Structure 1
Amino acid sequence: MLDCKPIDTPMMMNHGLQTIEGEKLVDQTQYERLVGKLIYLSHTRPDLAYAVGVVSRFMHKPQSQHLEAVYRILRYLKGTPRRGVMFEKHGHLDLHAFTDADWGGYRDSRKSTSGYFTLAGGNLVTWRSKRQKVVVMSSAEAEFRGIAKGITEVLWLIKILSELGYAPKRSYKLYYDNMATIRVSENPVQHDRTKHVEIDRHFIKDSLEAKVISLPFVSIN
């Protein structure tokens, strides 16, 4: 791949990758070796986290379309050799988190994927993209589970900062891109569409009322 043409993104939007019956299989050992190295690299390249998470789902039975997705990641790396995690001094230790979730994005099982990343003092410190354990019945359910995971990460970072002598003086911000979900999180009235995630909803509501976090809206555009 040394002479490959660089590309701007590690994965296509709405990629639709899945296991297709009868599709041509590729060398499993080669596929596992490539993806294994990408998993290792993603520890310092958060921009690869989602794409690598997707291609790692097919380690047991890789097909040609999956290998092409891996090659796309390599082409992206060819054009971005200097990217990584940069730590700079910004004069504060404010904590900000961003979270999002899809709904039924994994075609083989229709499970959703949620992810988050956090900034401490303006620097990226943690990030994660993970498939949810169960199939959810609505987009609201997927989104609540994603927010709940983001809040637990914020609480963990608050504890670490407090132990280091930097206890929070105000609520931290967890940004989200769905205004309807934010309103339901702040509303104590139970909604039919959130009855499957009532524990997550109350966990989010309690965190808001305790002023541990706030949920500002952020546009995806």
Structure 2
Amino acid sequence: MRFSIAVHFDWEIFQLDINNVFLYGELNEEVYMCLPDGYDQSNGTKVCRLKKSLYGLKQAPRMWNEKLVSVLLNRGFEQSKCDHSMFTMTKDSSFIILLVYVDDIIITGSFSKQVNEIKLLLKSKFSIKDLGNLQYFLGLEVVKNTAGLCLTQIKYCLDLLVEFGMTSCKPVSYPMEPNHVLNHLCEKDNQPLTNITVFQKLVGKLIYLSHTRPDIAYYVHYLSQFMHSPTQAHFKIAIRLLRYLKGAPGKGILFEKGDSLGMKAFSDSDWAKCLGTRRSITGFCIFLGNNLVSWKSKKQSTVSRSSAEVEYRSMCAATCDVMWISNLLKELKVHVNLPIQLYCDNTAAISIAANPVFHERTKHFEIDLYFLREKISKGIIQTM
């Protein structure tokens, strides 16, 4: 039976325990519940026990996930150790992959018969709606053509331009001026932004858009550093980024068909780029065959004392992502050829990674030093 709960409480005397789905506490004049008809309320010290999670509680999503996971595991699925939202099942000669995001599910497999069986299983346990072949998922549009599979967010991008009134703006060919340094701007541009909510909302939407737009990853990373104290200059950069998107809102990522599944990674860095903290920027991209599958642009957590050190840390960050993708591909029954090539343009960093001799000037990043050397010695990574 469904019923609503309205509660006014003091946290010291009233608690919610989701483990056993109990609602308990001392009822008083400020705590009350709207209960169904027929419930005896003559004794004011009684409490109500919830037999199932109520929609709207913050614990409800976890309860739903536990229910879905239990159904899939009982059916024979295995939950991925690399990505807990992915489930795989091998049965005879068929292989099925199921990807979950809250209550949105993508199913694919080697045979349509087994996929239909999983659909019937989910339909018997939950109220579901079959949307057919994958075309639109969480703001991402999936377009199939003869070349392969294309992921784009054209509708999301156009809605973003409409929301911020940039549909009639003049496009620009690049998102930010080269070697842009805020310290050299005029005093007027360095004034704090009065309405930071608009800036935060815009940057948040750009972060999601960067899932299919690696060309704006660096600029979004740059703007996201000033979410709590943006200036007029930061807002101008964000608007210019919208003008750049206006030029080609339909850009995305193309996954081409091919027999080659060799993995390779490219890493680079910008030494002491941030003038405020003198921290460096890590950047890397990873290709599976000829397809870009992962990329990152992020400020490093420590200050590097040399360009070799910052390049080395970038190589380690790329190696971590390579290891995660390799393990994920193994769960998908995809063979990964070793060693995986890691490209870097700093000869000093490559020499440090290849030379097992301990150097005095490298002891302050010893953990990263041994991590990358271990992967090289095991034949997993090969520096280029």
Length-normalised TM-score, structure 1: 0.89
Q: CA deviation at 1:19?
A: 11
Of 23-32 and 190-199, deviating more is 190-199
Contact 1:112 1:131 in 2 (8 A): yes
Tell me by how many angstroms 1:152 deviates.
Answer: 0.9
Go from structure 1 to structure 2 and tell me whether the alpha carbon gap of 1:52 and 1:110 turns closer, same or farther (over 3 Å shift): same
Partner of 1:209: 377
> For residues 20-39 of structure 1, what are the structure 2 equivalents within 5 Å?
23-26=190-193, 27-39=195-207
Taking the aligned partners of 2:358 and 2:205, their CA distance within structure 1 comes to 46
Confirm or deny: 8 A CA contact 2:329 2:335 kept in the other structure: yes
For the 8 Å contact 1:18–1:106, the answer to whether it is kept is no
Would you say the 8 A contact 2:280–2:300 is kept in 1? yes
Figure out how many residues of one structure are paired with residues of the other and give that number: 216
1:4 counterpart SS class: coil
Instruction: Please say which structure displays the higher CA radius of gyration.
Output: 2
Task: For residue 170 of structure 1, give the secondary structure of its aligned residue in structure 2.
Answer: coil
Task: Provide the rounded CA distance (Å) in 2 between the counterparts of 1:167 and 1:38.
Answer: 35
Please state if 1:199 is matched with 2:367.
yes
Question: Is it true that 1:8 corresponds to 2:176 in the alignment?
Answer: no
Q: TM-score, normalised by structure 2?
A: 0.53
Which of residues 100, 106, 112 in structure 1 aligns to 2:274?
106
Whether 2:308 is the aligned partner of 1:143: answer: no
Higher strand share: 2
1:67 maps to 235
Which has the larger helix fraction? Answer: 1
Deviation at 1:70, TM superposition (A): 0.8
Secondary structure of the residue aligned to 2:369 is: helix
Aligned residue identity for 1:73:
L
Q: Segments of 4+ in structure 1 off by > 3 A?
A: 17-22
What is aligned with 1:164?
A: 332
Larger RCO, structures 1/2 (Cα 8 Å, 6+ apart): 1
Identity in percent: 44
Structure 1 unaligned spans of 5+: 217-221
Superposition deviation, residue 13 in structure 1: 2.5
Question: In the aligned structure 2, how far is the partner of 1:37 from the partner of 1:73?
Answer: 12
Contact 2:262 2:337 in 1 (8 A): no
Asked if the contact 1:103/1:111 (under 8 Å) is kept, the reply is yes
